[in-house]
Structures are given as structure tokens and as C-alpha cells.
């Protein structure tokens, strides 16, 4: 069994793969992740390999406590990827975006791919049918937008995610929900429409923590998979073994 760990900005997401399929999916809190991981490994003794990607909060040294008991592999910029990186500032391209791009290439060959990761930030990544990674865009995610309205104003409340009932908000709370959620939906639809003007035959992949919350509201046909990054991490690791 192979355990994959995606260390993001706000949480650690994990998935256990058995016979190339996710058999378990869970979260690890940052404040107790080492103890929780040890407990999980104790309860799942068949885990032989651990594959990790990190946007920067943790590094390989933080995993020294399990290196003697498990094979550990970090996917980073020095790893092999199945695309041509055309990004101008390659040193600042997030490893999570690179892994998503790799997963899209491996899962959906010979077509243009747009990956939308709706998490802390919303990232857009475009890879051509010729496997050229061109880049995309970054904007604030749902939680960041709610928090920004509360933090940088004197009276607006901090609200939890809620799908608005109406386009026109009839109260301050409903106006915030409409502005945040509908704003993101129109933003994503706008990006998709712009790509459609320039490219044909492309698949749209929506992933991230807010993927399921947003998926049903889009006009465009979207392949929604909240675990696409974890699946892509596993596929990227398998790709290393074939090199």
C-alpha cells in the first residue's frame, strides 16, 4: 500500500492507495500530525511507501521519524514530470500546480486541459494537447474572500460558506454570500469561456476543498474530483518509477 500526503497551506490531506485505487481518505491536523500519522501507520501495517508533496510548511527533515520504517519519497521540482514547463518563473511555480498538471497529462492524454483548484487560493493551470504547461492564474479562494471582507472593513461579519438563494442579496449577510460565491462562479465561467475562444477539445477539471460546493453551479461541463491532487500525486510517483 502507498500513502500519499498533500501538505497544503491550511491542512494535510492524505489518501491510501491499494491496487491503484483510493481505499481511504482523511485529514491530519498540523498541531498533531506526527502523532496522528504514527497512529495511522500502526493501524495500517501494510503501508510500505509514503509519497509527500509540500507547498512549504513541512520539508523532508520533518519526516525523519519514519524514514527508518518506511520508504519515503518527496515529489519536488527536481522530480520528473510528463510535460514541458513553459512557465517563465519556474522557481516560483507551486509544486501543487505542477502535480496537478502532471495528473491531468497522465489521466487525459492528447487533449487540452484546464485544471481549476478551488482551495485556499483558486488556481488555474492550462496544459496543451502537446503537453506544454503554459501557466494560468491565481485568485483568492472562498474562505479568503469571506475573511477579507470581515478583516478589512469595520462592520461586515465573518460568515461561513453558503450558497446564495438569490442573485440579489436582500440583507447584508445574503449580499456577502452573493458577492463571494456568485463572484467566484462568474470568475471561473469567465476564465473557461476565454479559453474556449482560443482552444478546442479541452477538458475542465475542478478540484480542491471547495470543488463539490461549487460544481453544480457551473454552466460549463466540468469533471469535478476533490481528490484529484492526491490521485495526481500518486500518478506522478508512479511516473518516476517508469523513468
The reported pLDDT for the residue numbered 160 is 94
The reported pLDDT for the residue numbered 55 is 85
Pairing of strands 12-18, 2-7: antiparallel
State yes or no: is 96 an active-site residue.
Answer: yes
The kind and range of the H/E element at 80 are none
- Tens of pLDDT along 26-74? 999 998 999 999 999 999 999 999 999 998 778 888 999 998 889 999 9
Q: Which residues of the chain have pLDDT under 50?
A: none
The reported pLDDT for the residue numbered 215 is 86
The reported pLDDT for the residue numbered 216 is 80
Closest CA relative to residue 64, chosen from 55, 56, 52: 52
Contact 55, 9 (CB under 8 A): yes
Pairing of strands 132-140, 84-85: parallel
From the list 96, 117, 125, 210, the catalytic residue is 96
Q: For residues 138 and 182, what is the distance between their CA atoms, to the nearest angstrom?
A: 17
Contact 181, 163 (CB under 8 A): yes
Q: For residues 50 and 61, what is the distance between their CA atoms, to the nearest angstrom?
A: 14
Q: For residues 53 and 7, what is the distance between their CA atoms, to the nearest angstrom?
A: 6
pTM over 0.95: no
- Tens of pLDDT along 222-236? 889 999 999 999 999
The kind and range of the H/E element at 35 are helix 33-43
Contact 207, 116 (CB under 8 A): yes
Amino acid at each position: 500500500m502507498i500513502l500519499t500526503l498533500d501538505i497544503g497551506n491550511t491542512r494535510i490531506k492524505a489518501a491510501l492507495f491499494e491496487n491503484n485505487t483510493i481505499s481511504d481518505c482523511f485529514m491530519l491536523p498540523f498541531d498533531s500530525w506526527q502523532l496522528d500519522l504514527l497512529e495511522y501507520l500502526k493501524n495500517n501495517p501494510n503501508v510500505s511507501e509514503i509519497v509527500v508533496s509540500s507547498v512549504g510548511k513541512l520539508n523532508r527533515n520533518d519526516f525523519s521519524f519514519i524514514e527508518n520504517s518506511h520508504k519515503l519519497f518527496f515529489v519536488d521540482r527536481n522530480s520528473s514530470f510528463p510535460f514541458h514547463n513553459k512557465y517563465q518563473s519556474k522557481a516560483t511555480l507551486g509544486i501543487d500546480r505542477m502535480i496537478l498538471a502532471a495528473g491531468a497529462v497522465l489521466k487525459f492524454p492528447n487533449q487540452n486541459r484546464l485544471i481549476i483548484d478551488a482551495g485556499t487560493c483558486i488556481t488555474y493551470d492550462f496544459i496543451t494537447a502537446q503537453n506544454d504547461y503554459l501557466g494560468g492564474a491565481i485568485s483568492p479562494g472562498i474562505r479568503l474572500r469571506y475573511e477579507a471582507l470581515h478583516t478589512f472593513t469595520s462592520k461586515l461579519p465573518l460568515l461561513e460558506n453558503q450558497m446564495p438563494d438569490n442573485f440579489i442579496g436582500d440583507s447584508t449577510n445574503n449580499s456577502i454570500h452573493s458577492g463571494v460565491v456568485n463572484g467566484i462562479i462568474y470568475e471561473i465561467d469567465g476564465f473557461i469561456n476565454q479559453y474556449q475562444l482560443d482552444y478546442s477539445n479541452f477538458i475542465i477539471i475542478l478540484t480542491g476543498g471547495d470543488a463539490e460546493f461549487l460544481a453544480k453551479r457551473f454552466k460549463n461541463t466540468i469533471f469535478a474530483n476533490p481528490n484529484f491532487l492526491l490521485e495526481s500525486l500518486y500518478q506522478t510517483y508512479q511516473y518516476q518509477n517508469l523513468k
